[in-house]
């Protein structure tokens, strides 16, 4: 039985202003039978199976590992037993794993040990190495100019004129990708690379970045503006960097199953990523979304639902490596096939223990970023559902950190649900949703503790119901979703142009 959150009149009054910004969707199919069939117990049974897979495969279900292959096999066999034809779409992708934790310290003139997360992060796809060397600044923009200027440090080979081979290149974020900076440094003979944040408001924290591909063989780490600026102005600075990584090309796949009925020129693309990070089982991220759409697919078949519009269920690989599965899927579509997708519904992390109910902001009315034309219709469907159920919810931005990214980049209307990752719950959110202020919405995000117990069954049931409702609304609607005939439109609007700076959870520039 699905659990429900009963919101008091006081809380509803407090959140009324938030509800006022949403309008009701035009569609109105009764989804009760499907929602009743999609139970918490059913979704949790799939999570239990994924946990068993992880337990048998070194605690991980990451793409490129046997744990992912077994996860895909479970979903595929479950779908086929229900009567679906499940298609495997193989592709290659760059695999990255940090074998042992990175180390970073200053050995001179002031010996200092720096801590991962607090002072630095290893760049995804960093090479391996154990390096002690002096620093060399490369075309930096430091105070007082940093607050007003944009750095292009390391973006051109000419920036490394006079660089002394064997030194560690100290670079600054800005203009080009981290890969371009690191590749130029490696070509100039750098033994390692440190990239620090740029310094303007919003660009000061420790960089959690990605190189995007395994082509740089030397250590690459990211730091905050504060630490980078300090090192840049420390005369005679010598640092020690140790990285031990696996960075290589591997094979993985997407899994696709669709309803036999429904118009093939009006496809509802329902997606979730199946992979975990290498360092965990990923039962909430994203065993929750994967299990929810699997149960929706099974119950639609069990109920004999014959949709007007074809529903295509997709489990993506290599999302944690930078949305690579969904990117590959979209890249293989013809222009006509893109136009045939009326909506992309994305479900990534929908059972966070310290949750907030988030709906992607399709029209950009509450966040800086909007989806392609038609995304507002998807937002409205979720808003109508939650309003009718008296459940509080908030807008969340299309920030490029989940598998909707390649769809909106192709101009396909998108939307979905999310219950939170590493963000800290605010006091206001705790008053509305319960839980603990000042704690991550998912305290086990990308950690070894993201196991079967890392799951809030209350919100899982609520989000599973909302997902089932939306899938059925779009499966049965005869209304048009504006924008679906414009698959080559610009993806989104963005206040600062940074929307697609993310590849999954990592910055790429």
- 323 to each of 275, 290, 318, 329, 402, how far by Cα in Å? 11, 15, 6, 10, 6
Q: What is the DSSP letter of 6?
A: P
Decide if 353 contacts 442 (C-beta within 8 A). Answer: yes
Decide if 162 contacts 252 (C-beta within 8 A). Answer: no
Compute φ and ψ for 439, nearest 5 degrees: -115, 150
CA dihedral (391, 396, 402, 405) positive or negative: positive
Q: What is the 3-state secondary structure (H, E, C) of 288-332?
A: HHHHHHHHHHHHHHHCCCCCCEEEEEEEECCCCCCCHHHHHHHHC
Q: What is the 3-state secondary structure (H, E, C) of 136-147?
A: EECCCCCCCHHH
Residues 231, 188: Cα–Cα separation, whole Å: 21
Q: What is the DSSP letter of 173?
A: -
Helix (H) or strand (E) holding 9: helix 9-14
Decide if 301 contacts 82 (C-beta within 8 A). Answer: yes
Q: Facing residues of 309 across strands?
A: 263
Rounded (10°) CA dihedral 401, 404, 410, 414: -130
Provide the 3-class DSSP secondary structure of residue 462: helix
Residues 285, 443: Cα–Cα separation, whole Å: 12
From 98, 124, 319, 320, the catalytic residue: 319
- For 176-185, give one letter per residue: b (16+ CB within 10 A) or e: bbbbbbbbbb
Q: What is the DSSP letter of 493?
A: B
- For 403-413, give one letter per residue: b (16+ CB within 10 A) or e: bbbbbbbbbbb
Decide if 239 contacts 231 (C-beta within 8 A). Answer: yes
Known catalytic membership, residue 295: no
Q: What is the DSSP string of 198-233?
A: --STT--SPP-BB-SSS---S-EEEE-HHHHHHHHT
Residues annotated catalytic, as ranges: 319
């Amino acid at each position: 039985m699905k659990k429900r959150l009963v919101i008091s009149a006081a809380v509803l009054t407090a959140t009324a202003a938030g509800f006022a910004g949403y309008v009701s969707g035009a569609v109105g199919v009764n989804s009760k039978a499907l929602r009743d069939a999609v139970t918490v117990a059913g979704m949790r049974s799939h999570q239990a199976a994924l946990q068993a897979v992880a337990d048998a495969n070194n605690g991980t279900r990451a793409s490129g590992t046997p744990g992912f292959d077994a996860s895909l096999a479970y979903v595929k066999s479950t779908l086929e037993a229900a009567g679906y034809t499940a298609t495997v779409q193989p592709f290659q992708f760059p695999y990255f794993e940090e074998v042992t934790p990175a180390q970073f310290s200053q050995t001179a003139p002031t010996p200092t040990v720096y801590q991962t997360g607090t002072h630095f992060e290893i760049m995804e796809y960093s090479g391996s190495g154990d390096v002690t060397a002096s620093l060399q600044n490369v075309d930096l923009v430091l105070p007082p100019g940093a607050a007003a200027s944009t750095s292009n440090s390391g973006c051109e080979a000419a920036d490394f004129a006079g660089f002394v081979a064997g030194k560690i290149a100290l670079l600054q974020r800005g203009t080009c990708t981290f890969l371009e900076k690191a590749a130029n440094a490696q070509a100039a003979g750098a033994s390692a690379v440190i990239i620090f944040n740029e310094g303007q408001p919003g660009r000061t924290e420790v960089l959690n970045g990605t190189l995007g591909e395994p082509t740089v063989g030397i250590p690459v780490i990211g730091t905050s503006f504060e630490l980078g600026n300090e090192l840049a102005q420390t005369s005679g600075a010598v640092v020690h960097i140790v990285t031990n990584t696996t960075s290589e090309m591997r094979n993985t796949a997407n899994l696709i199953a669709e309803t036999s009925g429904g118009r093939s020129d009006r496809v509802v693309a329902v997606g979730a990523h199946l992979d975990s990070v290498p360092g965990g089982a990923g039962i909430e991220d994203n065993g929750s979304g994967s299990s929810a759409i699997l149960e929706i697919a099974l119950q639609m078949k069990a109920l004999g639902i014959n949709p007007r519009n074809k529903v295509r269920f997709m489990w993506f690989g290599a999302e944690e490596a930078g949305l690579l599965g969904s990117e590959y899927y979209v890249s293989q579509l013809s222009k006509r096939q893109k136009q045939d997708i009326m909506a992309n519904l994305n479900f990534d992390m929908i059972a966070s223990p310290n949750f907030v109910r988030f709906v992607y902001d399709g029209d950009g009315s509450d966040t800086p970023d909007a989806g392609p034309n038609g995304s507002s219709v998807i937002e409205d469907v979720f808003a109508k559902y939650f309003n009718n159920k008296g459940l509080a919810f908030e807008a969340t931005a299309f920030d490029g950190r989940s598998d909707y990214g390649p769809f909106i980049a192709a101009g396909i209307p998108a939307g979905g649900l999310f219950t939170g990752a590493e963000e800290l719950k605010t006091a206001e959110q705790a008053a509305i949703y319960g839980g603990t202020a000042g704690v991550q919405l998912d305290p086990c995000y990308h950690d070894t503790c993201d196991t079967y117990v890392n799951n809030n069954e209350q919100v899982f049931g609520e989000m599973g119901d909302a997902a089932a409702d939306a899938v059925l609304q779009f499966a049965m609607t005869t209304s048009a979703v504006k924008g679906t005939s414009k698959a080559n439109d610009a993806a989104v609007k963005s206040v600062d142009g940074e929307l697609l700076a993310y590849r999954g959870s990592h910055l790429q520039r």
